Amino acid sequence: TLHGLRRGLKNCAISVDYSFGYRGRDSMLMPLDEWQKNRGKYYRALGLPQSPTKFLEELKAQVQTGLNALDQAIQEQEIEIVDDGIYVPKIVRESRPPGTRKTARAWINEIGPIQFPNLLLELDSHTRFSWQLLGGPPTSERNLLALYGALIAQGSELSAARVALMMPGIPIKDIQQAMQLLEEEGVLQKANGVVLEFLRRHDIVNHWGNGSFASSDMIALEVSRHLWQARQDPRRRTPSVGSYVHVLDQWGISYDQPIVLNEREAGPAIEGAIRSPGSKIEAVAVDTKGHTHFASGLSKVLGLDLYPRLRKLKYQKLFVPRGVDVPKSLKPIIGPSVSLKSIERDWDEFVRLAASIKFGWCSATMALRRYGAAAQGEPLHGAGVALGKLALTGYSCDYLANPEFRREVLRILSHGESVHTLQRAIHHGRPVPKRGRRPEELAATSGALALLTNITMAWNTHHMDRVHKEWQRKEPERIGTDMIKHITPVRFEHINFRGVFAFHVGPYRDRLFNTPRKGKHRAA
What pLDDT digit, counting tens, does each position of 217-253 carry? 999 888 888 787 888 888 888 888 889 999 999 999 9
Say how far apart CA 303 and CA 299 lie, in whole Å: 6
What length is written for the chain?
Answer: 524
Check if the beta carbon of residue 487 is closer than 8 Å to that of residue 103: yes
Give the C-alpha distances (Å, rounded to integers) separating 203 from 212, 317, 473.
16, 43, 15
Q: Over 50: is that where the pLDDT of 295 sits?
A: yes
- The mean per-residue pLDDT over the stretch 170-184 comes to 93
Q: Over 60: is that where the pLDDT of 520 sits?
A: no
Run of H or E including 134: helix 129-134
Domain that holds residue 108: 104-198+446-480+490-513
Which phi and psi (to 5°) does residue 42 adopt?
-70, -35
Quote the mean pLDDT of the chain: 88
What confidence tier does 523 reach under pLDDT thresholds 50, 70, 90? very low
Please report, rounded to a whole number, the percentage of residues in the chain having pLDDT higher than 70.
92
Residue 495 falls within a domain, yes or no? yes
167-181, 309-323, 437-451, 496-510: segment of lowest average pLDDT:
309-323
Say how far apart CA 367 and CA 10 lie, in whole Å: 10
Q: Which residue has the higher pLDDT, 1 or 173?
A: 173
- The mean per-residue pLDDT over the stretch 113-133 comes to 95
Q: Over 70: is that where the pLDDT of 21 sits?
A: no
Total number of domains constituting the chain? 1
Say how far apart CA 206 and CA 415 lie, in whole Å: 16
Say how far apart CA 297 and CA 327 lie, in whole Å: 25
Helices and strands (H and E) in the chain: how many:
22, 10
Say if residue 21 is exposed, middle or buried (CB neighbours under 10 Å; 0-12, 13-18, 19+).
exposed
Check if the beta carbon of residue 515 is closer than 8 Å to that of residue 131: no
Residue 418 falls within a domain, yes or no? no
Q: Which residue has the higher pLDDT, 520 or 402?
A: 402
Residue 498 falls within a domain, yes or no? yes
Q: Over 50: is that where the pLDDT of 522 sits?
A: no
Q: Per mean pLDDT, which of 93-97, 256-260, 314-318 is the most reliable?
A: 256-260
Run of H or E including 286: strand 283-286
Residue 135 falls within a domain, yes or no? yes
Say how far apart CA 410 and CA 362 lie, in whole Å: 31
Run of H or E including 383: helix 379-401
What pLDDT does 12 receive? 61
* Distance from chain centroid for Cα 110: 31
What pLDDT does 462 receive? 96
- The mean per-residue pLDDT over the stretch 43-63 comes to 92
Phi/psi-derived region of residue 237, left when phi > 0, alpha when psi is between -120 and 50, beta in every other case: left
Q: Global pTM?
A: 0.90
141-155, 296-310, 382-396, 419-433: segment of lowest average pLDDT:
419-433
Run of H or E including 329: none
> Which distant-in-sequence residues (6+ apart) come within 8 Å of 258 by Cβ?
229, 241, 242, 243, 244, 439, 442, 443, 445, 446
- DSSP assignment string, 226-267: TSTT-EE-TTT-SEEEEEEEEEETTS-EEEEEEE-TTS--HH
* Exposure b/e, 40-52, CB count within 10 A at least 16 = b: eebeeebebeeeb
Say how far apart CA 441 and CA 230 lie, in whole Å: 13
Residue 453 falls within a domain, yes or no? yes
Residue 28 falls within a domain, yes or no? no
* Nearest in space to 128 (alpha carbons), one of 200, 194, 186: 194
What pLDDT does 15 receive? 64
- The mean per-residue pLDDT over the stretch 365-380 comes to 81
- The mean per-residue pLDDT over the stretch 163-192 comes to 93
Give the C-alpha distances (Å, rounded to integers) separating 125 from 128, 150, 194, 459, 514.
6, 18, 12, 11, 11
Q: Over 80: is that where the pLDDT of 299 sits?
A: yes
What pLDDT digit, counting tens, does each position of 480-510 carry? 788 888 899 999 999 999 888 999 998 999 8
What confidence tier does 519 reach under pLDDT thresholds 50, 70, 90? very low
Q: Is the dihedral of CA 447, 451, 453, 457 positive or negative?
A: positive
Say how far apart CA 385 and CA 389 lie, in whole Å: 6
Q: Over 90: is that where the pLDDT of 430 sits?
A: no
Check if the beta carbon of residue 392 is closer than 8 Å to that of residue 293: yes
Check if the beta carbon of residue 145 is closer than 8 Å to that of residue 136: no
Pairing verdict, β 239-248 and 213-222: antiparallel
Say how far apart CA 459 and CA 443 lie, in whole Å: 24
Q: Which residue has the higher pLDDT, 26 or 455?
A: 455
Work out the number of other CB atoms within 10 angstroms of the CB of residue 226: 11
Check if the beta carbon of residue 254 is closer than 8 Å to that of residue 274: no
Which phi and psi (to 5°) does residue 159 adopt?
-85, 170
85-94, 104-113, 488-497: segment of lowest average pLDDT:
85-94
> Which distant-in-sequence residues (6+ apart) come within 8 Å of 518 by Cβ?
none
- What three-state secondary structure class fits 257? strand
Say how far apart CA 189 and CA 186 lie, in whole Å: 5
Position 415, amino acid: H
- The mean per-residue pLDDT over the stretch 97-107 comes to 87
Check if the beta carbon of residue 422 is closer than 8 Å to that of residue 488: no
What pLDDT digit, counting tens, does each position of 305-362 carry? 999 998 888 788 899 998 888 898 888 888 888 989 999 999 999 999 999 999 988 8
Run of H or E including 112: none
Residue 89 falls within a domain, yes or no? no
What pLDDT does 13 receive? 66
294-298, 321-325, 449-453: segment of lowest average pLDDT:
321-325
* Nearest in space to 278 (alpha carbons), one of 394, 192, 360: 192
Check if the beta carbon of residue 459 is closer than 8 Å to that of residue 123: yes
